[in-house]
Amino acid sequence: MAKIHFEPAGRIIDISDERITVAEAAERASVPLDSVCGGRGTCGRCRVIVTSEDALITEEDRKAIDPRDLDRGVRLACRMKADHDLVVEIPTEFARSSQIILEDSAIDIEIKPRIRWIPLRVPPPSLDFQVGDFERLSKVLEDRLGTKSLLASLPIMNSLNELLRIEGEVTAILRGNELIGMIPPKPKERYGMAIDVGTTTVVAYLMDLESGKEVAVKSAMNPQIGYGDDVVSRITFAMERRNGTSVLQSLIVSCINDLIDGCCAATCVSRNDIYEIVAVGNTAMHHMLFGLTTSGLAFSPYVPVISDPVEFKAKEIGIDIAPEGYVHSLPNVAGFVGADHVAVLLASHIWESVEPRLVIDIGTNGEISLGDSERIVCASCAAGPAFEGASLKFGMRGTEGAIDHVSISKDYTVKYTTIGGTPPRGLCGSGAVDAISEMSKTGVIDRTGRIMEELEIPGIRVRNGESEFVIAAEKESAINEPITITQDDVVQIQYAKAAMYAGACILMDSLGINASRLNAIMLAGAFGNYLSPESARTIGLIPEVPLQRVIGIGNAAGAGAKMALLNEDFRERAREILRKVEYIELAAHSGFEELFYRALYIPNYDTSSFPGTTSDI
């Protein structure tokens, strides 16, 4: 038995399994510890200071940690076994901070929910009318609504006897032709929830199913982050651990239940008055929520267990709402284009646009769709974690202290803003894109992305054989060292943006159009919301269109989930989109590699030429 003492949280946890790492012990003790790689020792973010004794230095420690820090006991928690008593301190800069989560997802649609509340009068039985409770109710509903083949669970059937023995009005709660509740005729509020299950964050919206109004919204970090920032790490965990899928499902279900609790507490709504949830997420998150195996997503041809919409009683997967309440998910397109992107397409209204629109949801895995009311093509781009800051030397998520916007003047003076206005701790994705865009404009980097170390440009320096450009000086930094963009950081962003741009080019080529034909480029999600369109265009992340055509559409996945919750017609619309969408596997496309390598260059075009067709990438 080992006792692990975490400071400054002051939490102590007893560990009996010698195979457990300090990082896993921190997760069990609910001590937030930053991690990106899911415990593989590659990201170098899960740093702790061992204060109790000298600790073994691993090869991964030597690669990630400065020798001076190694001497003072800094180690990677994911590489250190919790097999003996330890006192470890988690430095502030490596504690997991609360991410700024994009919750906005306004919609304006006709209210037509799947759940219906039907007030009615059911005649009581008598010696002259010896008809069963369920049959009498079925006959009334058939006469009233034309509902045939009424379905009900055993608990619902068992509740009818008491309610229907006394003549009077009752309210039947129907979902299609299924009776999911029977309540007295007193007025009762009617609720549902739309939930966007993201890889990094989860956002839950409590909706009034009668008025269509958003009653409450709560959000949280996806607790699966402890097993990796990206879906590949989590899929690997699910495959390598005997109960890995169950562990990941339990985590996300618990998170959703906590968000439901938060929404209910904020509004005095009862869980039992929530009858339906529409949940969306990428294909991996979708499978993990429903407890489906993700092994098929790990290997070519990356086929999901199911692409069609799925729905189960909420209690079957452990979500606590009304006893007969349901969880419904929109369809998946492919192994790496999931229900969340279908929700984005719903919210973007690309399916009714006369002119072609490009819809981009940028993350670790970027989804792109292009089309109009006649045809839609889509692709998944393995952009990597650079846009979320994960693979950058001073990269971080969009949390307090992250540099989110950067400008560089002609004399190379750097100005920046941070989330929360606090001293900088690192760069999030939008800050990194801004920085590289400004470095390109001011000649700090050339078209190949090379930092021009031979020029006498203030801010350029060489450390440990690598060129870098200083964004925030040591005296300004919250981590007691300069925050820089390194040569490798530039390359990481180049690779990510080249994948997105090449994917967009292939989609445009498949429809026979160029950038001048695009009615709009719609950027979805948190990164798209905070990204500077000008910086994105400057580095060649998006096609070359006038900036007024680049539109941020907020949390479109959440908006699409709301639409499907509040109006059941959008569920059929989602099916139609699925039938219409043509998925293009970029890795198998003959032109992708050439386009990708051409797109690595930083564009060189005259913005006064807009609107134009293409640049010289």
Q: Within 13 A of 581's CA, how many CA atoms are on the CB side?
A: 31
Among 5-14, 28-37, 186-195, 452-461, where is mean pLDDT lowest?
Answer: 28-37
Q: What HEC string does 488-500 produce? A: HHHHHHHHHHHHH
How many CA atoms does the CB half-sphere of 130 hold within 13 Å? Answer: 2
Percent of the chain, pLDDT > 90? 56
Question: Closest by alpha carbon to 469, among 491, 493, 439?
Answer: 439
Which residue, among 232, 223, 241, 284, has the nearest Cα to 42 in the 3D structure? 232
Strands 581-583 and 376-381: parallel
Structure tokens given for 355: 């002119």
Kindly report, residue by residue over 579-613, the tens digit of the pLDDT: 989 999 998 899 999 999 999 999 865 444 433 33
Q: What is the pLDDT of residue 613?
A: 35
In the structure encoding, which two tokens stand for residue 346, read together? 């719903």
Q: Among 310, 274, 67, which residue's Cα sits nearest to residue 181?
A: 274
Quote the CA–CA distance of 158 and 496 in Å, as a whole number.
Answer: 58
Q: How confident is the model at residue 479 (pLDDT cuts 50, 70, 90)?
A: confident
Which pLDDT value is given to residue 453?
Answer: 92
Contact 438, 460 (CB under 8 A): no
| Alpha-carbon radius of gyration of the chain | 27
DSSP string spanning 40-106?
SS-S---EEEE-SS--PPPHHHHHHS-HHHHHTTEEEGGGSB--S-EEEE--GGGBPPPB-------
**Cα–Cα distance measured from residue 282 to residue 368, given in angstroms and rounded to the nearest whole number:** 13
Tell me the pLDDT of the chain averaged across its residues.
87
What secondary structure does DSSP assign to 313-372, as a single string? EGGGGT--SSTT-EEEEPPP-BTTB-HHHHHHHHHHTGGG-SS-EEEEE-SSSEEEEEE-
pLDDT tier at 29, thresholds 50, 70, 90: confident
Does residue 39 surpass a pLDDT of 80?
no
Name the more confident of 610 and 99. 99
Instruction: Evaluate whether 232 touches 224 at the Cβ level (below 8 Å).
Output: no
Q: In percent, how much of the chain has pLDDT > 70? A: 91
CB atoms within 10 A of CB 525: 27
Q: Which domains does the chain have, with CATH numbers?
A: 2-94 (3.10.20.30), 115-183 (3.10.20.880), 191-339 (3.30.420.480), 350-385+494-608 (3.30.420), 386-487 (no CATH)
Residue bearing the bigger pLDDT, 199 or 339? 339
What's the predicted TM-score (pTM) here? 0.80
Q: What number of other Cβ atoms are within 10 A of residue 125's Cβ?
A: 17
**Token pair 């896993």 is at which residue?**
24
Cα–Cα distance for residue pair 361/388, rounded to 1 Å: 13
Q: Does residue 102 register a pLDDT over 60?
A: no
Measured distance CA(252)–CA(234) in Å, rounded: 12
* 413: alpha, beta or left? (left if phi > 0; alpha if psi -120 to 50): beta
Task: Report the pLDDT value the prediction gives residue 337, as an integer from 0 to 100.
Answer: 92
Which of 193, 221, 39, 54 shows the shortest CA–CA distance to 115?
193
Interaxial angle between packed helices 592-599 and 487-511, expressed in degrees from 0 to 180 and rounded to the nearest 10: 130
Average pLDDT over residues 327-340: 93
pLDDT at residue number 281: 94
How many Å apart are CA 381 and CA 32, to the nearest integer? 30
User: Are 387 and 362 spatial neighbours (Cβ–Cβ below 8 Å)?
Assistant: yes
pLDDT at residue 92, as a whole number: 61
Mean pLDDT over residues 41-70, rounded? Answer: 80
- Indicate the DSSP class of residue 159: H
pLDDT digits (tens, 9 = 90+) for 400-425: 899 999 999 999 999 999 998 999 99
- Is residue 398 predicted with pLDDT exceeding 60? yes
Which three-class secondary structure state does DSSP give residue 214? strand
- pLDDT tier at 523, thresholds 50, 70, 90: very high
Answer whether the bond into residue 611 is a cis peptide, omega within 30°.
yes
The tens digit of pLDDT for each residue in 278-311 reads 999 999 999 999 999 999 999 888 899 999 999 9
> Mean pLDDT throughout 497-511?
94
pLDDT band at 37 (very low <50, low <70, confident <90, very high): low
Q: Is 597 exposed, middle or buried (0-12, 13-18, 19+ CB in 10 A)?
A: exposed
- Of the two residues 596 and 106, the one the predictor is more confident about is 596
